[in-house]
Structure 1
Amino acid sequence: MEQLSRSIKLENLPAQVTYEHQDHLPEKIVQFGEGNFLRGFVDWMIHELNKQGLFNGKVVAIQPTPHGKVVPKLNAQDGLYTLALRGIENGQIVERNEIISSISRGINPYSNWDEVLKVAESPDIQFVFSNTTEAGLTYLEEAYDKQKSPLSFPGKVTAFLYHRYKVMNAKPEAGLVLIPCELVEGNGDVLKELVLRYAKEWNMPKEFTTWVNNHNQFSNTLVDRIVTGYPKDNIEEYRDILGYEDVLLTAGEPYHLFAIEAGEDVAERLPFHQAGLNVKWGPITPYRELKVRLLNGPHTMMFSICYLSGVDTVLEAMQDPDLGEFVKNGMIEEIFPTVKMDEKEKRLFVESVIERFENPYNKHFLTDIGMNAVYKYKSRLIPSMLDYIEQTKKLPQSILFSLAALIVYYHPDRNDGDFLIGRRGNNEYTIRDNKEALSALTKAWELFENDGADVSRLTTSVLEDEELWGINLNAIDGLNELVASNVSSILLHGMKESVRKLAKAATK
């Protein structure tokens, strides 16, 4: 089977594959990272811009770590790869396969740092994108050697900017727009602070710091798309569809959201919105709240309830009449009213979330969502809970039932190193969280078991812990009693029957 490359003949491609190759475009973007997410998100967007003649530029992908394996594959395929989008969009099942041609080449900076510096010298370069994971957007103490690539991502950016500053004589127009995509709040601000820290510790001139501050823009961003990467479990099916070999085949969902904190000048140079892409320019806080509350919040609300009801994935939960109705009700009736945003935009977002939850191509395991669930509950659901109580003077039934379910999910059957092991029927599952959360829940369950199975002692111990929740939840009138009642119901009747009882009570 022929390998994907620029020599592939368009007439040989099957009808299910689209390919619009753009040659002879200048390199305008430096990208630190070449993984699945950037290729399925940013590089796809640049490809869309190029197809419509709105950008006409290519991406240079820089390998972020010494042990990366993507760059040789990327160069062997002339920068090409296939993006397969699968899911539900506007009520219709979507299956799209497109060869993406926005990447010109990949560079390994550890063996070809001089090539990276040549890119820094190019007047065509305008933007820097990145996704080096949360761990990449951190400080690493290291020495500066102009002949070698720094190990850290912020160190690379600092050295790249410094070389550009020197070669281009500190011209204001040499400044770049840096748009990090790491899942770190205030990612642009964090990157800028790190660059300035390296510049100081590497004794770079103060004029360089001034140039960085005055002529380079660091944008905070919010990204949202599930990119699952290489579909190894059903690769033969994809090979039959594509008719060629692609070792960088990347799968993802159709939905995407990119919020970028930048001005109109940047939006005009990167006109994503003109290409019909779901990109929002300006303050990202409203979109962060929208995503955290109405996407991440329902995920955290559902995971323990649905898993302990006997299903393993989000899709299975949504296909179950009782569980699916519970998720939708909690999302729409309790979380939705607490989000401060245009009603139409909120409703469109909720509809997209339900379509994503019901995506038949995504295998999103509930136990994965349950990792670090105490912190997730604190950041994703407590704010909605408090706002709902303030707005309605009532307790949110679904949100608090999910808190009871979380407590039951954290019931330890035994220890396993740094984690706990819970039990669902005859099956074990691993409870992964920080030491403080695991210790607090373990002690609370020991109180319950050593004190004549007193559920109120259990819930009181859990809910009063301000380190876990950021607030003493027992101080909220009636909350402990409701959570204790739900825990008792779950222990007595089982999770699934308790969900049914909750639904019946809601209809009365």
Structure 2
Amino acid sequence: MKQLSRSITAELSANVKYEKQDDLPEKIIQFGEGNFLRGFVDWMVHEMNKQGLFNGKVVAIQPTPHGKVVPKLKAQNCLYTLALRGIENGQVVESNEIISSISRAINPYSDWEQVLKVAESKDLEFVFSNTTEAGLTYLEEAYNPTSSPLSFPGKVAAFLYHRYQVMNGSPDAGLVMIPCELVEGNGDVLKELVVRYATDWKLSTDFIQWVEECNQFCNTLVDRIVTGYPKDNIDQYNELLGYEDVLLTAGEPYHMFAIEANEDVSMRLPFDKAGLNVKWGDVTPYRELKVRLLNGPHTMMFAACYLSGVDTVLEAMEDENLSEFIKQGIYEEILPTVKMEDSEKRQFVDSVIERFLNPYNKHYLADIGMNAVYKFKSRLIPSLLDYVKAENSLPRSIVFSLAALFVYYRSDRTEGEFLIGKREADEYTIRDNKEAITAFSNAWNDFDGSESGLENLVSGLLERSDLWGMNLNEIIGLQDMLVAFLSNILQDGMKESVKKRTELATK
């Protein structure tokens, strides 16, 4: 079977969409070439190009020395297939499209001079990135104008400095930085890091002033599940497409991109005019929307559903009792606490339910359970506190999910730095920071099985402000409700406890 390349695009089957987009200027440099950027930003650029709204290409830069994507992109003439699978507005979506928005891919560690040539281009306008949260950090390193810095912010600083020099510090040479890393205030963080590198490298104060005044660093929020290469059913994809694509990227139809930028940027990047779900302006309400109504339900469901015997979000949604538990928590407890226009937040939460029901995504509950204590603190405690303030009562589904988390963190043994829990005959790894691991390990080891012992366990864990951001014993009634839920779970098991919980709530 032939491999995807420009030479086979004239003989594609009806199962694949492709529109040739050659001879367009390179307007974007992109640090990162992984699944997410190719299934999100590069797809969006492709969509704008198809409609004649942007007419620009992307230069993709390998972010780390050990990357493997650049050679694959070069072998396929920088073409790849995006397969979108899921449910959108009640309709099943299955689409396959060859994305052609990337013009070339560069390994900066072997071809730094090519990256600097891009910096000299008058066509260049934007910098996108996704180097993971670890990429937006400071790494002490020396400046060498002839070789690539190791860190992502260091690369940006060196790239901008070369552009500044070549263009004689022209204010018009400034670029728009649109980072996609999942870090709050990611644009502000990137700007601070670039200035720090410039300062440490003793680059000119005029350059630093140019960075701060002539370049725009945008805070953003991204939302799309991109699962990447579908290795489990790649043979079916190859047969459907009629060719092999080593960069085949699978994802869900849903997408949302919130960007803080001035009106000029939104005019030059007309995502919304292309029909894309891009929000221009303050990202804060959209961050709360996503954290509370997507991430929050994930954290709320993982322990109760996993310990009830299912492994994925889809399996949980297909179980009558588990689905009812999830929906009660979302619609009755979390949704009312979100400060946004009712129609918009309801539209979002309805899309969340569709995403949970996506038959093409295997979203494992055990993966969601990694670092669950921090996730509960950031994703659910704000909703819990707001609900108590508004209703003068406790949100029972959220509290039950905290009890389920307590039971999930009960371990039989340790393995390295982590705990090993047990679900009937199956073992699972409890991954969290040292403080959480130690706190739960000690609490359960000290538990003697008595009612007073359970009260001590709950009280001792709730008071750990280092885990939850506050002493949760201060919330009136929380300790008693948590003890009652834990007692039911330990006595009847998780599955039966969830069933009783949902039956009581629906009466």
- Structure 1 stretches of 4+ with a deviation exceeding 6 A read 450-453
Once the two structures are TM-superposed, the CA of residue 452 in structure 1 deviates from its matched residue by 7.2
Superposition pairs of residues 380-391 of structure 1, within 5 angstroms = 380-391=379-390
Distance 1:166 1:273, change over 3 A: same
Give per-residue Cα distances to partners, 1:137-194, cap 9 Å, x unaligned.
1111111111111111111100000000000111111000000001111110110001
Mapped to 1, the partners of 2:181 and 2:32 lie a distance apart of 10
| 1:88 paired to 2:107 | no
More deviation, 446-455/222-231: 446-455
Mapped to 2, the partners of 1:349 and 1:491 lie a distance apart of 36
More deviation, 288-297/470-479: 470-479
Mapped to 1, the partners of 2:448 and 2:366 lie a distance apart of 25
What SS does the corresponding residue of 1:454 show, helix, strand or coil?
Answer: helix
| 1:227 paired to 2:226 | yes
Which residue is equivalent to 1:50?
49
What amino acid maps onto 1:120 in structure 2?
Answer: A
Which residue is equivalent to 1:31?
30
Mapped to 1, the partners of 2:105 and 2:175 lie a distance apart of 20
What amino acid maps onto 2:271 in structure 1?
Answer: F
Superposition pairs of residues 171-186 of structure 1, within 5 angstroms = 171-186=170-185
Which residue is equivalent to 1:342?
341
Mapped to 2, the partners of 1:263 and 1:342 lie a distance apart of 23
Mapped to 2, the partners of 1:374 and 1:38 lie a distance apart of 29
Checking the alignment, whether the CA contact within 8 Å between 1:36 and 1:250 is kept in structure 2 is yes
Mapped to 2, the partners of 1:96 and 1:245 lie a distance apart of 17
Checking the alignment, whether the CA contact within 8 Å between 1:447 and 1:457 is kept in structure 2 is no
Mapped to 2, the partners of 1:319 and 1:504 lie a distance apart of 17
C-alpha RMSD over aligned residues: 0.9
Mapped to 1, the partners of 2:241 and 2:506 lie a distance apart of 50
Give per-residue Cα distances to partners, 1:451-482, cap 9 Å, x unaligned.
67721111111111111111111111111000
Which residue is equivalent to 1:113?
112
What amino acid maps onto 1:267 in structure 2?
Answer: S
Which residue is equivalent to 1:372?
371
Checking the alignment, whether the CA contact within 8 Å between 1:86 and 1:254 is kept in structure 2 is yes
Once the two structures are TM-superposed, the CA of residue 489 in structure 1 deviates from its matched residue by 0.2
Mapped to 1, the partners of 2:338 and 2:329 lie a distance apart of 13
Which residue is equivalent to 2:235?
236
Mapped to 2, the partners of 1:435 and 1:122 lie a distance apart of 48
Superposition pairs of residues 348-497 of structure 1, within 5 angstroms = 348-449=347-448, 454-497=453-496
Mapped to 2, the partners of 1:358 and 1:453 lie a distance apart of 41
Checking the alignment, whether the CA contact within 8 Å between 1:63 and 1:106 is kept in structure 2 is yes
Which residue is equivalent to 2:6?
6
Distance 1:452 1:493, change over 3 A: closer
What SS does the corresponding residue of 1:73 show, helix, strand or coil?
Answer: helix
Superposition pairs of residues 154-233 of structure 1, within 5 angstroms = 154-233=153-232
Once the two structures are TM-superposed, the CA of residue 417 in structure 1 deviates from its matched residue by 1.1
What SS does the corresponding residue of 1:141 show, helix, strand or coil?
Answer: coil
Once the two structures are TM-superposed, the CA of residue 446 in structure 1 deviates from its matched residue by 2.2
What SS does the corresponding residue of 2:143 show, helix, strand or coil?
Answer: coil
Q: What TM-score, normalized to structure 1?
A: 0.99
Identity %: 72
Which residue is equivalent to 1:149?
148
| 1:253 paired to 2:252 | yes
Mapped to 2, the partners of 1:401 and 1:127 lie a distance apart of 46
What SS does the corresponding residue of 1:55 show, helix, strand or coil?
Answer: coil
Once the two structures are TM-superposed, the CA of residue 492 in structure 1 deviates from its matched residue by 0.3
Give per-residue Cα distances to partners, 1:106-147, cap 9 Å, x unaligned.
001111111001000000000000001111111111111111
Once the two structures are TM-superposed, the CA of residue 450 in structure 1 deviates from its matched residue by 7.3
Mapped to 2, the partners of 1:108 and 1:449 lie a distance apart of 59
What SS does the corresponding residue of 1:415 show, helix, strand or coil?
Answer: strand
What amino acid maps onto 2:195 in structure 1?
Answer: L
Mapped to 2, the partners of 1:422 and 1:129 lie a distance apart of 41
Mapped to 2, the partners of 1:58 and 1:222 lie a distance apart of 22
What SS does the corresponding residue of 2:457 show, helix, strand or coil?
Answer: helix
Once the two structures are TM-superposed, the CA of residue 507 in structure 1 deviates from its matched residue by 2.5
Q: What TM-score, normalized to structure 2?
A: 0.99
What SS does the corresponding residue of 1:7 show, helix, strand or coil?
Answer: helix
Give per-residue Cα distances to partners, 1:328-361, cap 9 Å, x unaligned.
1100000000000011110110111001101000
Give per-residue Cα distances to partners, 1:422-466, cap 9 Å, x unaligned.
111111111000010011111211232376772111111111111
What amino acid maps onto 1:405 in structure 2?
Answer: A
| 1:262 paired to 2:258 | no
Give per-residue Cα distances to partners, 1:312-331, cap 9 Å, x unaligned.
00000000000011101100
Mapped to 2, the partners of 1:330 and 1:450 lie a distance apart of 29
Give per-residue Cα distances to partners, 1:359-391, cap 9 Å, x unaligned.
000001100000000000000000000000000
Mapped to 2, the partners of 1:300 and 1:54 lie a distance apart of 39
Which residue is equivalent to 2:498?
499
Which residue is equivalent to 1:18?
17
What SS does the corresponding residue of 2:279 show, helix, strand or coil?
Answer: strand
Which residue is equivalent to 1:73?
72
More deviation, 448-457/143-152: 448-457
Checking the alignment, whether the CA contact within 8 Å between 2:9 and 2:18 is kept in structure 1 is no
Structure 2: which 5+ runs fail to align? Answer: none
Mapped to 2, the partners of 1:302 and 1:188 lie a distance apart of 32
What SS does the corresponding residue of 1:124 show, helix, strand or coil?
Answer: coil
What SS does the corresponding residue of 1:93 show, helix, strand or coil?
Answer: strand
What amino acid maps onto 2:49 in structure 1?
Answer: N
Which residue is equivalent to 2:279?
280
What SS does the corresponding residue of 1:207 show, helix, strand or coil?
Answer: helix
What SS does the corresponding residue of 1:128 show, helix, strand or coil?
Answer: strand
Once the two structures are TM-superposed, the CA of residue 61 in structure 1 deviates from its matched residue by 0.3
Mapped to 1, the partners of 2:237 and 2:505 lie a distance apart of 45
What amino acid maps onto 1:2 in structure 2?
Answer: K
Checking the alignment, whether the CA contact within 8 Å between 2:388 and 2:395 is kept in structure 1 is yes
